[in-house]
Amino acid sequence: MKKFNKKWAIIPLVFILVTGFFRGDDDFYYQLSKSIDIFGEVYKFVATTYVDEINPEELMTAGIDGMLESLDPYTVFIEQEEKGDIDLITTGKYGGIGATVGIRNDEVTILELIEGYSAQRQGIKIGDVIKKINDAELTKENYNILGKQIKGEPGSILKLGIKREGNEEELSFSLVREEIEIKNIPYYGFLNDKDGTAYLKLSSFSISAGEEVRKAIVDLRKQQKINSIILDLRGNPGGLLDAAIDVCEKFLKKGSLIVTVRGRDTLNTKSYYSAEEPIAGDIKLIVLVNNGSASASEIVAGAIQDHDRGIILGEQSFGKGLVQTILSLPYKTSLKITTAKYYTPSGRCIQKIDYSKNNKVVSDKNFLKKSEYKTDGNRVVYSAGGIKPDTMVTNRSASKIVNELVAQGVFFNFANYLQVGNSQMQESNEKLYSEFVDYIHKEKYNFKTKFETSLEELKKQAKEDGLDSIYTNKIDNLLKESRGLTSVELTKNKTDILNKINEEITLRLFGKNARIKESLKHDKQINTAVNVLNNADVFNSLLVVK
């Protein structure tokens, strides 16, 4: 049993002294002291007198988790074994094997490999299914144990049992954990050699994000003149506040307000300004965002937009206007707690969800509703809904069947099929497409067109209305005829399908960076951004008051 930490013994005394001057039930500190006493007594009695044996640590963790669930999803208790998650947030480094894992086809699957690290060097492949971890069976039901097991001290050994398509027997791997450094910029380069448009994919905001942006721009300038920059923040969930400020400093004039952070006490307010001369302060700039762009990404996009420094293009961002602080607790545990809201230079908070609504624990009387604010150039921007792009462009396929193929992991599975020797991965598009269609029929994937879905709904309605069977028979005949529409839909969307296939093949042959580069060739938002950058009239018109 863990020893009691003596320094915490003073807490009850502190509360007694503080609350000795106040006796009213409505007093905050009286209620705080009272609640601690009640919670402690309940915990002690449950742990010692409950009918079955209790694990006191697990009971306390459950109590803490239950308490924090009444707040927001970003306020969480972090146990000792989850320390690697804090290291990843703060330093961009952790002890692991260099693999991204997720659920595919109801199995725990290797989705990406980081080049040069243990998993890739020792022969793990994308598409491999993890069946055992350190001799324990692994399924989607106990998937949560993976994070605790796969990370660990560099130099330690991780044993994996792998099921690989094309191999009947389970493969065994003993992987050495290493210090994995996640790059904030997995890829940068020129989109073409003619117009000098540089592209930077910023995927996270660990402590080195700003420096990586600076180095990327310096390196690109050595190659050729940079006429414009596309900063891609799509899918970037954020990270450190300091990192967001550091990135902004590469584009905004020295002395520019970047963000203001305000805690519960309005006196606890701090504003952050750009403290350096920007390395790319006068280069035309477009920032790409989507619904996966959150937190630090929105700080950057908001500052660029409010100062009219560049154009925000894409889809509405996530809308996370909250700031978290990580506090150290006894026994190497931590608390990540929301301590403030942030405000863009124009004064808007872009937080979308009000977690205090219908919440008896939290009372946010100052939650901001959607309001108008003005940029430096007097353009109208809005609070309380994320960052709205200056020009909205979607990147999703308009085809239902392509979106279903992506959602069901068909392109991922097809690349696995090619990878195990059933075909050559590098072949003509016509051959690839033909094999893909054969693969779909062989695996009996079932897709419904919008027309088929509508017919099925119509048949259901006809039965509910008690219509004569003659009508349902006619609908059945139409459904039979519509089965052939899947092939028509596949042919109609052949280009999109081939693009998705080639992305997955490129990932397996050449790695994540190459996949990003391949995806840019048919990226609607990228193509739109390039067109806007190359048309001065259009670019300038988006930065003036309409």
Q: Which residues are catalytic?
A: 295, 306, 320
Contacts of 437 by beta carbon, 8 Å cutoff, 6+ apart: 487, 490
Sort strands 157-163 and 136-137 into parallel, antiparallel or unpaired: unpaired
For residues 352 and 475, give the distance between their C-alpha atoms in angstroms, rounded to a whole number.
44
Tokens of 25: 């039930």
For residues 315 and 390, give the distance between their C-alpha atoms in angstroms, rounded to a whole number.
9
- Burial state string for 482-510 with b = 16 or more CB within 10 A and e = fewer than 16: beebbeebbeebeebbbbbbbbbbbbbee
Select from 239, 287, 509 the least CA-distant residue to 391: 287
- Burial state string for 236-245 with b = 16 or more CB within 10 A and e = fewer than 16: bebbbbebbb
Amino acid at 117: Y
Q: Helices 494-510 and 400-407, interaxial angle, to 10°?
A: 30
Select from 235, 243, 231 the least CA-distant residue to 205: 243
Residue 231 vs residues 199, 289, 526: alpha-carbon distances, Å: 6, 9, 10
Tokens of 523: 């990226």
Structural contact between residues 482 and 447, judged by C-beta atoms closer than 8 angstroms:
no
Report the chain's terminal Cα–Cα distance, integer Å.
Answer: 68
Select from 445, 476, 481 the least CA-distant residue to 463: 476
Q: Helices 512-520 and 494-510, interaxial angle, to 10°?
A: 160
Structural contact between residues 198 and 218, judged by C-beta atoms closer than 8 angstroms:
no
Place of tokens 């049992």: 161
Q: How many CA atoms, within 13 angstroms, populate the side-chain half-sphere of residue 214?
A: 14
Name residue 326's beta-bridge partners: 336
